[in-house]
Amino acid sequence: MSKVEWKPGNMLYPLPAVMVSCGDIDGEHNIITVAWTGTINSEPPMCYISVRPERHSYKMIQEQGSFVINLTTTKLAEATDWCGVRSGKNYNKFKEMKLTAVPAKHIKAPMIGESPVSIECKVTQVIPLGSHDMFIAEVLAVHADEHLIDKKTGALDLRQTDPISYIHGSYYEPGSKIGRFGYSVKKKKST
């Protein structure tokens, strides 16, 4: 199979498109949509977001040293896009998108009530990379909608949330499950 060389760029797929809430719930706060985000460590749990310094949210994240990553769903897709093309300089994004600012437990930044999973993050390092600064953060707490938790087993079923993914400029709904971790090496049941 032959391949064509493409100019260097960000080609990883799929990406999450998350809504990052920041600032102070009792003061100025905002939401910025971020796709440059990911998990970077297991113990302690750590993640990152990369944000351009010219974003309105940048200063709030820098000053508070914290932010909340709110996972997005098909229901939240429009708000996710809107918060990524409008600036908090000109709009109150919570109000415009009819989203609820809910107090977090460990940090001043609000969580988004309508998001099924909100992850409280404390910045531990800021690395300027070029266009973006990378905020490396420790996860202080994860808040999940109670309806996602199986009452009997206590297991968290994130599949119920209809998570969206972001691939090369477009948003996608979830497809169907094709396997679970390690399924490739599990013994196939004989029929």
Ligand X SMILES: Cc1cc2nc3c(=O)[nH]c(=O)nc-3n(C[C@H](O)[C@H](O)[C@H](O)COP(=O)(O)O)c2cc1C
Binding residues for ligand X, rule: CB under 6 A, are 17, 30, 32-36, 50-52, 55-57, 81, 84-89, 132, 166
For 124, the enclosing helix (H) or strand (E) is: strand 117-128
Which is nearer to ligand X, 27 or 154 (by Cβ)? 27
| Residue 89 CB, nearest approach to ligand X (Å) | 6
Give the 3-state secondary structure of 75-96.
CCHHHHHHCCCCCCCCCCHHHH
Q: What is the DSSP string of 63-76?
A: HHTEEEEE--BTTT
| Comparison of 120 and 133: residue with beta carbon closer to ligand X | 133
Residue 138 Cβ vs ligand X, minimum distance, rounded to whole Å: 19
Least distance (Å) from ligand X to the CB of residue 35? Answer: 4
Output the residue with the shortest Cβ distance to ligand X: 84
Give the nearest distance from C-beta 182 to ligand X in angstroms: 31
Which CA distances in Å does 141 have to 4, 120, 137?
44, 5, 12
Amino acid (1-letter code) at residue 183? Y
Q: At its nearest, how many Å lie between ligand X and the CB of residue 18?
A: 9
Indicate the residue among 33 and 66 with the shorter CB distance to ligand X. Answer: 33
CA distance linking residue 93 with residue 79, whole number of Å:
9
Nearer to ligand X, 132 or 156 (CB): 132
Nearer to ligand X, 96 or 148 (CB): 96
φ, ψ of residue 147 in degrees (nearest 5): -70, -10
